[in-house]
Amino acid sequence: MFTTDDISERAARAALAVFYRPDQVAAALDEHDAVSVWRQRVERDSSGRLAAYRPMLRMEQAQPSGEYVIPGDASWPVALDAMGAERPLGIWTTGTARLSDLSQRAVAVTGNRAASKAGRTQAATIAGDLAEAGYAVCSTLAYGVDTKAQHGAHAQGGATIAVLPCGLDLCHPYNHTPLKNRTAQDGALVSLCPPGTKTSRNTLHAAADLTALLSRAVVIIEGTQGTTAMRCAALAQRLSRPVGTLSPDLVGYECSSGNRALLAAGARELVRGTDVL
């Protein structure tokens, strides 16, 4: 049985991530290790929720699903450090490839879930171009553009990163489990959510952010304003990372309002996937 004294830095960070946003504990972590910060928060918590939480037990239960990677680990993607105080406390990951290596050559390829036929075709083509050139395609497993991007990269023998808006023991959408397993064979699965976490609006937003964070550039194949794909592009722009998109004439014009907005704001117009770099 674990006691409150039996806690590692890794387990403490994972526990803090369950209850706090990174920016809410960043200042404390600048001055103290995560174990000390967790214990301080437990002492101050009048609800009893933190005291009832067992970080080491939760970490042990999560091990079959993947590992919790934290800053300083060899597999920690340094691209995440660009967020400063908003940098994730850690990320859950599994797969055969080292995430830090994939992230260094990752390009996000994302877009509408309800994509047009032309958008789906372009997603596979652009992702295939990137994989053939040695880049790692990064996307979610969502219907439409993201799924086609994964398939397009795999068709060229490329390793990919799949970002999940749920625990690594789950899959969203649930019927894309075969694609999830295929991605893990050569690449990596990543999530900000501990195992057992179900998909929600907040986790979908978090997955879009993580997709941008892990990638050196973002490609919007076909995007509608207000979607999670456009959120991904916005974060890349905030971090001064390249953003590219296709002409609306090459995809579904009526569902590419985001493409038009990005081009008007100076995004790179792409013909091939590598044009974004």
Provide the 8-state DSSP code for 102: H
pLDDT value of position 5:
55
Q: Which helix (H) or strand (E) holds 229?
A: helix 228-238
pLDDT value of position 6:
79
Do 88 and 210 touch, CB atoms closer than 8 A?
Answer: yes
Q: What angle do CA 230, 179, 104 make, to 5 degrees?
A: 55
Q: Which of 211, 261, 260, 264 is nearest to 236 (CA)?
A: 211
Do 91 and 192 touch, CB atoms closer than 8 A?
Answer: yes
Tens place of pLDDT for every residue, the chain, 277 residues?
444 457 999 999 999 999 999 999 999 999 999 999 999 999 999 999 999 999 999 999 999 999 999 999 999 999 999 999 999 999 999 999 999 999 999 999 999 999 999 999 999 999 999 999 999 999 999 999 999 999 999 999 999 999 999 999 999 999 999 999 999 999 999 999 999 999 999 999 999 999 999 999 999 999 999 999 999 999 999 999 999 999 999 999 999 999 999 999 999 999 999 999 9
**pTM exceeding the 0.75 threshold for the entire prediction:** yes
Instruction: Point out which residues pair with 188 in neighbouring strands.
Output: 95, 161
99-276 classified as CATH 3.40.718.10:
no
pLDDT value of position 202:
97
Tens digits of per-residue pLDDT, 48-59? 999 999 999 999
**Pairwise CA distance, residues 274 & 277, whole Å:** 6
pLDDT value of position 3:
46
Provide the 8-state DSSP code for 188: E
- Which residues of the chain form CATH 3.40.50.450? 99-276
Query: Residues for the chain: how many in total?
Result: 277
Backbone angles phi, psi at 68, to 5 degrees: -100, 110
SS3 of residue 108 by DSSP: strand
**Pairwise CA distance, residues 179 & 161, whole Å:** 11
Backbone angles phi, psi at 102, to 5 degrees: -65, -40
Backbone angles phi, psi at 177, to 5 degrees: -55, -40
